[in-house]
Copies of this chain bind each other. A is one copy, B any other.
Amino acid sequence: MVTEGSDRIIEQIVKQLNKLIDVIKLIDLSNTEHVERELMLVKFNVTAKERANIMQIADVFRCRVLDVSHNSMTIEATGRSSKLDALLNILDEDKIAEVARTGVCGLGRGSKALKV
């Protein structure tokens, strides 16, 4: 999960979450080197003609095309949330029909791992 707040607030959140029965162990990744990724699906209302333009941007952002129909197209993008925001910004808003995002998940860099 992702949240915001001062050190004191974050500390409280960590403590409260640790109290929950379903939570076995919890670490705060933000203070360590980590990778963080999110998945986003975007559907466009585009004709076959307009498709090339989207494909070009999709290529730059290393997206995958998941579905194409006569007047629509769906792509999948993964990356940091800021990258996905940048992608949405550059895309023509009028053409976007739907967006679905999973929210962020992350792991620490290197061999250190969360062990129970």
Contact = CB atoms under 8 A, between A and B. Distances in A.
Contacts of A45: 111, 113
Contacts of A69: 109-111
A71 interface: yes
27 contacts: A35-B66, A35-B67, A37-B41, A37-B66, A37-B76, A38-B39, A41-B107, A45-B111, A45-B113, A67-B110, A69-B109, A69-B110, A69-B111, A71-B111, A72-B110, A72-B111, A76-B78, A97-B111, A97-B113, A98-B108, A98-B113, A98-B114, A100-B105, A102-B102, A102-B103, A102-B104, A103-B103
Contacts of A111: 43, 45, 69-72, 97
Interface residues of A, number: 33
